[in-house]
Amino acid sequence: MKLLFDLFPVIVFFTVFKLADDPHQGVLTATAAAIVATLIQVLYTWIKHRRVQPMLLVTLALIVILGGATLLLQDERFIKWKPTAVNWLFAMAFLGSEFIGSKNLTQRMMAGHMNLPEAVWTRVNLSWVIFFLALGTANLYVAFNFATEVWVNFKLFGMLGLTLVFVFLQALYLTRQADSLHGKER
């Protein structure tokens, strides 16, 4: 359910785009709808939890700025940069966490569930940095080398699919690391 909530603006963008007759007008209408959907997402989060995660606020700022530029200038290039900006900001956050605080982001999120050596946490965290950089780069490649319809499909299905595969591979790696650590303790 959380995944659907997180993907709500992307699903709205995709649906509105697919319902449009003209791809250019479809991107503009879908962008406006995604801005509204993101605002609703932030408001709902605030009402329910009385706080909003910083990354959701960053996403809101990016959709308002890049989506607003798309609508104001009638130029879809701006909204096509948004997934890259979000992914590269994630990469910077994960990389920065290597140097700020005693635990990196991956360790902070998962240490309560697993006890692993620092070197493993560092490898996992840096793999997320590389993944987010690559995903942002892939978005730019698709956005500016293929038709807008291909990019819209990639934005929902390609990026989600790549993320799910990466998470699965991370889970396998972490499981193997935890198993080998427990094997050494016996």
Q: What span, in angstroms and rounded, lies between the C-alpha atoms of 147 and 138?
A: 14
Q: Measuring CA to CA, which residue among 142, 178, 173 is closest to residue 157? A: 142
Q: What is the DSSP letter of 113?
A: T
Number of structural domains (the chain) is 1
Q: Measuring CA to CA, which residue among 38, 30, 39, 37 is closest to residue 71? A: 30
Q: Measuring CA to CA, which residue among 109, 116, 117, 119 is closest to residue 167? A: 109
pTM of the predicted model, to two decimals?
A: 0.89
Rg of the chain on CA atoms, in Å: 19
Extract the tokens encoding 7.
Answer: 């993907």
Q: What span, in angstroms and rounded, lies between the C-alpha atoms of 69 and 56?
A: 20
CB 9 within 8 A of CB 63: yes
Residue 81's domain comprises 2-185
Point out the residues of the chain with pLDDT beneath 70. Answer: 181-186
| Amino acid letter, residue 131 | F
Q: What is the pLDDT of residue 6?
A: 86
